[in-house]
Structure 1
Amino acid sequence: MAEIDVANVADVREGAALTVRAAGRSIVLTRVAGTLCAVENRCPHLGLPLARGRIVDGVIRCPFRGSSFDLCSGANLDWVNAVAGLPLPQWSRRIVALGREPMPLQTFVARERDGRVYLEA
């Protein structure tokens, strides 16, 4: 696997999303409890960007439909529970999900070396 230089180590902060491009993809970099994490900047529900989503305790929430994902593992924690930040009643969530089943985020191996962040591509 090739490594791609994507950022300065100092630019990747705890609980903040840094968007970079690598291998033709938009990727979110952040730190969770000091660990460097990298996920695709694309919610699997509708493909909308996640970078503006709120990050709390290592979880990013899609700003469009409210799905939540673990930033280190990519695991889906909650699927489609809001529209434009407004909570949805339980009965309407499957309708807004458009029949799509919960999916995880794609993750990437990120490494720090010599003050730089590298992603495996």
Structure 2
Amino acid sequence: MFYPITMEVSIEVTRSPAFRQVYAIGAIGGHSPYDFRISFYNDSPRAFIEGGKQLSTVERSMEVEVILSPLAAKELAEWLMNHIKEYEKLFGEIKRPGKAKETERSSQLQGYM
């Protein structure tokens, strides 16, 4: 006969000495059969003159990479979608940059130019 055992578990959360917060404007990544990898980055526009022409480029700084198991990635996606839905209920729809009205000008890098 099987008798279920009920246990109460508490989790103590601490921050590692190596803990750091990173603000990122974007993420790129991929997956293998074993894990998901997400790299977070920031962009900095650079303007320079070459051959009498003003040119611009973007310096993309990779800040941190997170590696997750497939299950952890799925749980993160569900957690994030729940929080996005909650955020939009409170503050309204999150809109993507670049979907400006025809009368408004929009740059490639929102907020930089």
Fold in common (TM above 0.5): no
More helix by share: 2
TM range (shorter): under 0.3
CA radius of gyration, larger in: 2
More strand by share: 1
